[in-house]
Amino acid sequence: MGWFDSLKRERKEAQAVTEVKEPIIESVPAVDNKEEAVEEEYQVIEREPAPQIEDQSRTVPVKTYAEKKAVTHVVGQTKVIAIINQKGGVGKTTTAINLSACLAEKGQKVLAIDMDPQGNMTSGLGIDKDEVEKNIYDLMIGQAGVDEVLQKEAIENLDVIPTSIDLSAAEIELIGVDDKEFIIRNAVQPIKDDYDYIIIDCPPSLSMLTINAMTTADSVLVPIQCEYYALEGLSQLIHTVELVKERLNPVLEIEGVVFTMYDARTNLSLQVVENVKENLQQNIYKTIIPRNIRLAEAPSYGMPINLYDPKSTGASAYQRLADEVMNRE
């Protein structure tokens, strides 16, 4: 039995012990003024952006929600973040696209790696999957080097390693391959120092592709949709991160949780935020990503939100998230 099979078995056995109690929505009283309640604890998108950091030579402390200890990023050292949630439709790829683009807009050199066979990050950054000769699938099976699959300057300061539907077959083709959990880490290592940030969009599953992303990453960022069922399976994801940290990547940490698809018109969104705050022992970003029609439209034009509609609330939110990631202590 391989390591990955052992991991899946241990996750099932440990779930009863490590399970985070699912919040009970009915136990949270309704709040009349939802927007004011959220503003008390979170950075709301209408506020002015955080000031730019002038001293780039040291780590800059920023107070985070609930004063929990977070991951430290030293400016000048490459930070690799995997965007992960095994539940689909929670804003994972939207966050990967727009966080990458907003970091690049702020002058950071960024590499975006699309490890989701659906390829939505690839197309969302303006790359035609059908026109790409080689992609991450070729890299994983050893038929191309990283320089051959790299798409330079898809956007200013932003390079992309694209994907295709062929990647879905990679896990089967890698059966029996030694150290298959480290393929992407080893492939990216020669160019890692060329970037300030590497953002990895993972598939909506805890597969070998996701394990590759976690062995490559320094930290994991988890988008959570502001709906009750979006919380299901979160404890499994946290347990998997802990196992990967223990066995494969000792530097891996949970970067934090970011709320997405927040709708201020509903009690449910606020209740989910409050329940996660009370029950989840993880770092929580102050920035909340709202439901926004412009965010939904941007991918169809192959553009991140900061280029498609820079004045939209969605663009403002992701610019704030990028600031928070850059300043994270």
- The CB density around residue 169, as the number of other CB atoms within 10 Å, is 12
pLDDT computed for residue 179 by the predictor: 92
Residues ≥6 apart with Cβ < 8 Å to 306? 98, 101, 102, 105, 315, 318, 319
Residues ≥6 apart with Cβ < 8 Å to 217? 80, 81, 82, 200, 249, 252
Residue 169 has pLDDT above 50, yes or no: yes
Could you state, in order of their start, the residue ranges of all structural domains in the chain?
A: 3-23+37-50+59-257+280-326
pLDDT computed for residue 209 by the predictor: 94
The helix (run of H) or strand (run of E) holding residue 133 is none
pLDDT tens digits, 273-328 = 777 777 676 788 999 999 999 999 999 999 999 999 999 999 999 999 999 999 97
Residue 57, φ and ψ in degrees, nearest 5: -100, 0
pLDDT computed for residue 230 by the predictor: 66
Greater pLDDT, 226 or 93: 93
| CATH entry, 3-23+37-50+59-257+280-326, from 3.30.420.40, 3.40.50.300, 1.10.150.120, 3.90.1200.10 | 3.40.50.300
Instruction: Say which DSSP state 306 is in.
Output: H
* Model confidence pTM above 0.85: no
Residue 272 binned pLDDT confidence (cut-offs 50, 70, 90) = confident
Greater pLDDT, 64 or 295: 295
pLDDT computed for residue 38 by the predictor: 44
**Helices marked H in the chain:** 3-18, 34-41, 92-105, 120-124, 136-140, 146-149, 170-173, 183-188, 208-216, 234-247, 267-279, 293-297, 305-308, 313-326
Tokens of 299: 């991918």
Do residues 259 and 90 touch, judged by C-beta distance below 8 A?
no
Q: Any idea how long the chain is?
A: 329
